[in-house]
Chains A and B, each alone.
Chain A
Amino acid sequence: MGNFFRGIIRASSFFRKEIFEILRQPRLVATLVLGPFLILFIFGIGYRAQSRTLRTLFVVQPSSPIAAQDVQEYGKSTGSLLIYAGVTGNQNEALDQLQRGQVDLVIVEPGDATSTIKNNQQAVFTLYHHEIDPVQVSYINYLGWLYADVVNQQVLRSFAVQGQKDAVNLHTSLQEAHQNVSAMRQAMQSGDETLAQQKQQGLASNVDAVSQAVGVSLGLLDSLQQTKGTNGGNANPVKSTLTDLRQNTNQLSDSTGTKDERLVRLDKIDKDITDLDGKLAEFQSIDPSIIVSPFRNETKSIANVQPSISDFFAPAVLALLLQHLAVTFAALSIVRERDVGTMELFRVSPLSAAEALFGKYISYMVFGGVVAAILSILLVFALHVPMLGNWWNFTLVIAAVLFTSLGIGFAISIVSQTDSQAVQYSMIILLASVFFSGFIMSLDMLWEPVRVISWLLPTTYGTLLLRDIALRGIDPNWALLGGLIAIGLVLMLISWRLMRRLIASSQ
């Protein structure tokens, strides 16, 4: 029998031994398979994709220009984010309630907003909270921004409503101007210069009135068109029309022009008045809410499915579990051989480090593969997690995650002196994976040098690759997969060198 075949037999001894030892612990196997499945299942049914609702007490100073009624309305405008818990004029009492946990948020309205704004400064809403969770603090900051935006919109809306009311008077002025233009044209054609002068003065008066009123009403429309970029390259079309209108009106009084020139100018004036009137009608027809908040957003994904939150986490859970399983099993494997004393037997026997490692790699790969298969089937067919991609690619990524994780585990096991040391190292790897692998937060949120840690963890690769395959239905990023396997090969080489030293060398 050849040495190669004997080597295979020696390696197989570990394969059988490890598998038998694992199967002698059915509760462990059941926990490994059912644990993550149940966690995802409960998370899936328990997770509510709703923002937190905060019981909010408002503090309105007696000097505030904002009425208590308005405050309630503002609170309702934020949707279900705030629960209106009342208005009080006593800030200390409100903060006491916050301290006692009777409310979640206290919003103090600015007392002297009018004078602050007149002084060219923004008035400030102060939000008091009792949170220590940075995520919740960010949420409250966002809520404060949202609340100020709601109030600002309400203020702008009232301006728009006022502008639309003023536009009625503007329309009257434009009608009068139109009538003066017609009367002036008739007077000029009939040679009644005196009447024409009279009508020209009336027209000038009308144009002045329009110029003053348009700042409030048509100015808003002008800004809207400017924002939309629908004004044909003219930055301020209403203002430009008004300027033309005033110039032409003033030049009508210039007696040096010929009659025909004045009639042409009169036609231009008439056209500008009609134009302005048309814009005015357009402005009046627009809902004030649209004028102050003309844009909203809609998001549409080009992905094939829009996964639920538990679907999204399923590949990450699978990757993390497999990494932890492989790291822990491998980490305990060799350190236990040392504890039991078998290492002494191995040193005397013809067993080589490569054979021992090969046998252990294969056994844990097979075991991890079986766990992954059962878990994947449960996720896809019981929890209905989408599986849009290729199962072979999925299997390849699982195998790569297991292979590299085993490398980490074996390296830990060889350098550990005791069981508890190996477990501690494994737990550190798990903790690092939770924070740095993109499991709970995107890698983009990490400082770039810190991402080096992320790219040393198999879970990082597993999460990204399995999500691509299962949820996007695309092929894995081969460069990433290659990187993962390369790390695994380096770790295997290190483990082999360490194991060789452990088995082959004497003390």
Chain B
Amino acid sequence: MALASPSEPSQLQPVQVKDSVISAQHLTKKFGDETAVQDVSFDVPRASIFGFIGPSGSGKTTTVRLLTGVYTPTDGQVLVFDRSPAKFSQGERARLGYMPQLFVLYPNLTVWENLNFAASLYGMGLFRGKRLKKALTFVELYEHRSKLARNISGGMLRRLSLAATLVHDPQLLFLDEPTAGIDPVLRRKFWDHFRELKNQGRTIFITTQYVSEADNCDLVGVQNNGKLLLVDTPRGIRHHAYGGDMVDFRTTQPFDFQAEAMLRSLSFVRAKTVRTGSNSMRIIVDQASTATPELMGWAQQQNIQVQAVEEYMPSFEDVFVELVRREVSHG
């Protein structure tokens, strides 16, 4: 199934998804005159982690609510398990796990009671104690199970919410910023677990403000101002952001202008090159894997002593900023 970015259709290479669990087509959601989500289309393949990144207010939560059936789209269509979420049966809903952005359980109940409530909500049997314990142990809250929810920290509340989402072992998880307020060590553990769930065949739709977390995803959608800028693999996202792969080219001697001009004129080098030092340049190429030996060959021909040629992986913060900059420049 083809993907399209409404902002830059001509520059995108669509990602083909054969077995999609979620299919959103031209989704638009308006609240009065305000458009929260505009013409968003994407597909989420089965057994994958789909990351939805974007700044605060970009429409991530609205999109999640559209996918879970909390909101009805103003325009467009969404299918989850090939069915509109608004028409889900109880059995189909039981296959979903949803972690809202905010803590929505009960402050006057203990950690254990809240989790027990969530488990009951999904009709889990009476002998669910082991599952509850496992979920709480995973989020490192088992020791705190007797504490009232109102007496634990914000990070612990997020962990409790995650445990409540995972406790009934859903096939499709919607996680709205699950790692917000979680320390880096535990965040790493969460992502390990998400990957494990993916390997078990679960599908995860996850939103995050930590754009660096996009690297953990199989596919990433970048959202800004209600528009989906791009959907691709993390590598593809980087490629799109800069118009190619980035390679750092370092020599033993300083680079002269003539050599730099020759380098720019090479067929696999994109126009944009950046000097990062007197004897180093960052070059954007079509493909880093093929460009590296060609660069080495060219340097040998030109009697340029090469110190190193290596692919440069820009951080996702930089990628995101670049994508947004390009979005703004394209109007």
A16-33 vs B, Cβ < 8 Å mask (1 yes, 0 no): 110011001100000000
Contacts of A9 in B (CB 8 A): 120, 123-126
The stretch among A219-227, A340-348, A386-394 that forms the contact with chain B is A340-348
For A345, give the chain B residue with the smallest CB separation.
B104
C-alpha gap A483/B163 in the complex (Å): 47
Min distance, Cβ B227 to any Cβ of chain A, angstroms? 22
Contacts of B124 in A (CB 8 A): 9
Min distance, Cβ B37 to any Cβ of chain A, angstroms? 13
The answer to whether A7 has its CB under 8 Å from any CB of chain B is yes
Question: Which one of B91, B102, B105, B117 has the highest number of Cβ atoms from chain A below 10 Å of its Cβ?
Answer: B117
| A344 in complex: contacting residue of B70, B96, B123, CB < 8 Å | B70
Please report the total number of B residues contacting A with Cβ < 8 Å.
Answer: 34
When the two chains form their complex, are residues B96 and A348 in contact, meaning their CB atoms are under 8 A apart?
yes
Contacts of B100 in A (CB 8 A): 341, 344-345
Contacts of B117 in A (CB 8 A): 13, 16-17
The answer to whether A500 has its CB under 8 Å from any CB of chain B is no
The answer to whether B262 has its CB under 8 Å from any CB of chain A is no
B93-121 vs A, Cβ < 8 Å mask (1 yes, 0 no): 11010101011111011000100111011
Question: Which one of B65, B98, B117, B120 has the highest number of Cβ atoms from chain A below 10 Å of its Cβ?
Answer: B120
When the two chains form their complex, are residues A7 and B123 in contact, meaning their CB atoms are under 8 A apart?
yes
Contacts of B103 in A (CB 8 A): 341
When the two chains form their complex, are residues B108 and A20 in contact, meaning their CB atoms are under 8 A apart?
yes
C-alpha gap A505/B109 in the complex (Å): 28
The answer to whether B223 has its CB under 8 Å from any CB of chain A is no
For B102, give the chain A residue with the smallest CB separation.
A341
Min distance, Cβ A98 to any Cβ of chain B, angstroms? 58
C-alpha gap A5/B124 in the complex (Å): 10
Please report the total number of A residues contacting B with Cβ < 8 Å.
Answer: 30
B115-153 vs A, Cβ < 8 Å mask (1 yes, 0 no): 011101111111000000000000000000000100000
* Chain A positions 327-368 with a Cβ under 8 Å from a chain B Cβ: 340-342, 344-352
The answer to whether A302 has its CB under 8 Å from any CB of chain B is no
When the two chains form their complex, are residues A17 and B109 in contact, meaning their CB atoms are under 8 A apart?
yes
A347 touching B121 in the complex, CB below 8 Å, given contacts A20-B108, A352-B90: no
When the two chains form their complex, are residues A341 and B120 in contact, meaning their CB atoms are under 8 A apart?
no
| A6 in complex: contacting residue of B71, B108, B123, CB < 8 Å | B123
The answer to whether A10 has its CB under 8 Å from any CB of chain B is yes
B37-80 vs A, Cβ < 8 Å mask (1 yes, 0 no): 00000000000000000000000000001001111100000000
Main secondary structure of the interface of A (DSSP, over half): helix
Question: Which one of A16, A20, A21, A506 has the highest number of Cβ atoms from chain B below 10 Å of its Cβ?
Answer: A506
The answer to whether B86 has its CB under 8 Å from any CB of chain A is yes
When the two chains form their complex, are residues B69 and A21 in contact, meaning their CB atoms are under 8 A apart?
no
The answer to whether A12 has its CB under 8 Å from any CB of chain B is yes
A13 touching B70 in the complex, CB below 8 Å, given contacts A342-B105, A344-B100, A350-B94: no
For A346, give the chain B residue with the smallest CB separation.
B121
| A347 in complex: contacting residue of B68, B108, B118, CB < 8 Å | B68
When the two chains form their complex, are residues B104 and A17 in contact, meaning their CB atoms are under 8 A apart?
no
C-alpha gap A352/B93 in the complex (Å): 11
The answer to whether A255 has its CB under 8 Å from any CB of chain B is no
Contacts of B68 in A (CB 8 A): 347-348
When the two chains form their complex, are residues B90 and A340 in contact, meaning their CB atoms are under 8 A apart?
no
C-alpha gap A21/B65 in the complex (Å): 29
A506 touching B70 in the complex, CB below 8 Å, given contacts A1-B125, A13-B121, A17-B117: yes
> How many pairs, one residue from A and one from B, have CB atoms within 8 Å of each other in the complex?
94
The answer to whether A51 has its CB under 8 Å from any CB of chain B is no
C-alpha gap A60/B125 in the complex (Å): 90
Min distance, Cβ A18 to any Cβ of chain B, angstroms? 10
When the two chains form their complex, are residues A16 and B113 in contact, meaning their CB atoms are under 8 A apart?
yes
Contacts of B122 in A (CB 8 A): 10, 349-350
When the two chains form their complex, are residues B120 and A13 in contact, meaning their CB atoms are under 8 A apart?
yes
When the two chains form their complex, are residues A20 and B121 in contact, meaning their CB atoms are under 8 A apart?
no
Contacts of B120 in A (CB 8 A): 9-10, 12-13, 16
The answer to whether A507 has its CB under 8 Å from any CB of chain B is yes
Contacts of A12 in B (CB 8 A): 120
C-alpha gap A507/B68 in the complex (Å): 12
C-alpha gap A506/B70 in the complex (Å): 5
When the two chains form their complex, are residues B106 and A344 in contact, meaning their CB atoms are under 8 A apart?
no
For B164, give the chain A residue with the smallest CB separation.
A345
For A17, give the chain B residue with the smallest CB separation.
B117
Contacts of A17 in B (CB 8 A): 106, 109, 113, 117
Contacts of A341 in B (CB 8 A): 100, 102-104
C-alpha gap A21/B114 in the complex (Å): 11
For A340, give the chain B residue with the smallest CB separation.
B104
Min distance, Cβ B28 to any Cβ of chain A, angstroms? 15
Min distance, Cβ A80 to any Cβ of chain B, angstroms? 56
When the two chains form their complex, are residues A24 and B108 in contact, meaning their CB atoms are under 8 A apart?
yes
When the two chains form their complex, are residues A10 and B70 in contact, meaning their CB atoms are under 8 A apart?
no
Min distance, Cβ B36 to any Cβ of chain A, angstroms? 12
C-alpha gap A120/B106 in the complex (Å): 82
For B96, give the chain A residue with the smallest CB separation.
A348
Min distance, Cβ B188 to any Cβ of chain A, angstroms? 27
The answer to whether A3 has its CB under 8 Å from any CB of chain B is yes
Min distance, Cβ A358 to any Cβ of chain B, angstroms? 13
Contacts of B118 in A (CB 8 A): 345
Min distance, Cβ A99 to any Cβ of chain B, angstroms? 57
Contacts of A20 in B (CB 8 A): 108-109, 113
Min distance, Cβ A16 to any Cβ of chain B, angstroms? 7
Min distance, Cβ A318 to any Cβ of chain B, angstroms? 28
When the two chains form their complex, are residues A10 and B71 in contact, meaning their CB atoms are under 8 A apart?
no
B17-43 vs A, Cβ < 8 Å mask (1 yes, 0 no): 000000000000000000000000000
| A350 in complex: contacting residue of B90, B104, B109, CB < 8 Å | B90
The list of the 5 closest CB pairs from A to B, nearest first, reads A13-B120, A6-B123, A341-B104, A350-B90, A350-B93
B residues sitting closer than 8 Å to A (CB atoms) are 65, 68-72, 86, 90-91, 93-94, 96, 98, 100, 102-106, 108-109, 113, 116-118, 120-126, 148, 174
Task: Show 30 A/B contacts (Cβ-Cβ < 8 Å), sorted by A.
Answer: A5-B123, A6-B123, A9-B125, A9-B126, A13-B120, A16-B113, A16-B120, A20-B108, A21-B108, A24-B148, A340-B106, A341-B100, A342-B106, A344-B70, A344-B100, A344-B104, A345-B98, A345-B100, A345-B104, A345-B118, A347-B68, A347-B70, A348-B69, A349-B98, A349-B122, A350-B91, A352-B90, A505-B86, A506-B70, A507-B71
A residues sitting closer than 8 Å to B (CB atoms) are 1, 3, 5-7, 9-10, 12-13, 16-17, 20-21, 24-25, 340-342, 344-352, 505-507
Q: A3-B91, A505-B86, A506-B72 are in contact. List 6 more A-B contacts (CB 8 A).
A: A16-B120, A17-B113, A21-B106, A347-B70, A348-B174, A349-B96
